[in-house]
Copies of this chain bind each other. A is one copy, B any other.
């Protein structure tokens, strides 16, 4: 297959790198900037150039651009889409802006990376997936930033499952627990308003968890039974108390079309848990355990080992043979949370260079959105199961790591 990069002939080089624009300069903008600044240092990716950081406040975005290594800054995203030297648009804004920005960028022939969740609603996500499908036909690609697919331990987990080491998967237990809303005095933010965030722990945290279900198992969610709860219904806004219009926590049981059952919960009120995406996978031949707070570790239990020696092995996922690790440091030299974004950028660049659909695609993002929607519908019906139609599955999945690290 001939890899053709949109609008250009031949692969990008240091002399003619792929120009990148990031929209948004706060938490996610900082994390994505870090990825673009570092990706060429670790991966044999296409050369990239940090062209422009885009935000609403001219002074603040200019200052951020200076810090984070951008050649310039801008406040008008439309003009950025018109620039010939921009090949990639990376969207790190709140969720309610994703659909418009992504559609416009794809329309303008830019490859698009959108921070998760893909959108605030199924309707938006469907529009985006359709736009992405059209663009892909012309060699312009879109990806959604479920960065935890690039945690080496989770990529390894997927490999072990795909190799059959766990046998038939029966149960998954997934919880994504944080505690930044434990204190009722924690103030309002855009993340606690339905119109900007879409939902609460559901969209912010459970979306990662649902994507991991898809990523790890390759199966589809067939039905959902769920509950939602807002523990603190009102918080201090700029001008007095303001209602919290999203959930603080979510509980769900997912039936997969493979026959496995998943318990999946998320909370921002789990006192003492800072960023605990905890995943357990139980199969007929083995099991896996992971906690994002110790992201360099994967625990693997092999039920085929001699009975007296069976035990969950703590694999320190820092070996050269582990996914992504050859790009980084010697064994035992651990990675941090932000390295996942760098690897994500590398995978995105590799797919673009290869002319193949990067994963997770907008269709994958839509699949997550459908599950989140089913959660809300089931919760509205006191937990009664909501079926998800077949045929709305994610794209077929290929190898976890397609990129070549420096040797």
A interface with B by C-beta (< 8 Å): 14, 27, 30-31, 33-34, 37-38, 40-41, 66-69, 156, 160, 166, 170-171, 173, 175, 178-180, 182-184, 223, 225, 227, 229, 231, 249, 251, 253, 255, 261, 263, 265, 267, 269-276, 280, 282-287, 292-296, 298-303, 305, 307-316, 318-319, 321-322, 328-339, 378, 381-385, 406
Contact = CB atoms under 8 A, between A and B. Distances in A.
A313 B316 contact: no
The 6 residue pairs across chains A and B that have the minimum distance between CB atoms: A274-B332, A275-B332, A336-B336, A225-B383, A272-B301, A311-B313
A406 B271 contact: no
Given A225-B225, A330-B27, A156 B308 contact: yes
Contact of A41 (B69, B255, B282): B69
A302 B276 CA distance: 17
Contacts of A321: 307-308
Contacts of A301: 271-272, 313
A328 B249 CA distance: 27
A281 B319 CA distance: 22
15 contacts: A37-B38, A41-B67, A171-B267, A271-B301, A272-B312, A292-B332, A294-B294, A298-B311, A308-B315, A311-B314, A312-B313, A328-B338, A333-B338, A378-B383, A382-B385
A278 to B, nearest CB: 10
Given A287-B272, A331-B180, A385-B382, A309 B314 contact: no
A275 B331 contact: yes
Given A300-B309, A303-B271, A184 B316 contact: no
B332 A338 contact: no
Most buried by B among A40, A286, A384: A384
Q: Pick from A40, A274, A275, A334 the residue with the most CB of B within 10 Å.
A: A334
Nearest to A387: B382
Given A67-B41, A173-B175, A383-B225, A283 B309 contact: no
Contacts of A276: 332
Contacts of A307: 319, 321
Contacts of A286: 271-272
Contact of A315 (B299, B309, B328): B309
B251 A261 contact: yes
A2 to B, nearest CB: 26
Nearest to A272: B301
A308 B68 CA distance: 28
A282 B183 CA distance: 12
Q: Of residues A286, A299, A337, which shows the largest number of chain B Cβ atoms within 10 Å of its Cβ?
A: A337
